[in-house]
Amino acid sequence: MLKNSNPDIQAFFKEHQVAVLATASKNDSRPHAAAVFYESDSYLNLYFLTKERTIKSGNLDSNPFAAMVIYDASMLSTAQVTGQVNRVNDPDMMAKALRIMSRHSKEVSGSAETPVSKLDAGGYVLYRLTPTSIRLADYKYGGEQIFEVAVPAEEQLNNY
């Protein structure tokens, strides 16, 4: 877990809804990247949905490590997140995530129908990325200090 010692990171996560998720197959190490809607919690965990028979789900089943990049073109800023990904097998959280991702889709595209809902790839799967590293980069106003880094917490938070 990471300490939420940097309010800029939490604010950046909340201001955006779309990230690029990068995964790799453990079998052949082939990388795969896909845009996903996400939501964050107060511990800086990132939640996203996909379906059971997608490449990203298959990759995460064999290799639970991933990276996400959230980009703000107008501010020339990125959040670069790496960590371990786990399935969240909680029906209430799944229902909530479906509503949130639908709302994000409507805000971004005008349609509440998410791209993943159009895939014929099995049932939905909710994942949580628990960051081991977050780099918030400000290329527009960063000056000498472009990166702000969140550091691993010393204690585990057993909230999930």
Given a contact cutoff of 8 angstroms between Cβ atoms, the answer to whether 10 and 126 are in contact is no
Domains of the chain, CATH where assigned: 7-150 (2.30.110.10)
pLDDT tier at 127, thresholds 50, 70, 90: very high
pLDDT digit string, tens, across residues 140-156: 766 555 556 665 543 33
Tokens of 67: 């990276």
Mean pLDDT of the chain: 85
Burial environment of residue 155 by CB neighbours within 10 A (0 to 12, 13 to 18, 19 or more): exposed
Strand partners, 124: 51
Nearest Cα to 89, choosing from 42, 39, 128? 128
- Express each pLDDT in 79-117 by its tens digit: 999 999 999 999 999 999 999 899 998 888 888 888 888
Looking at residue 156, what is its pLDDT? 37
Measure CA 137 to chain center: 16
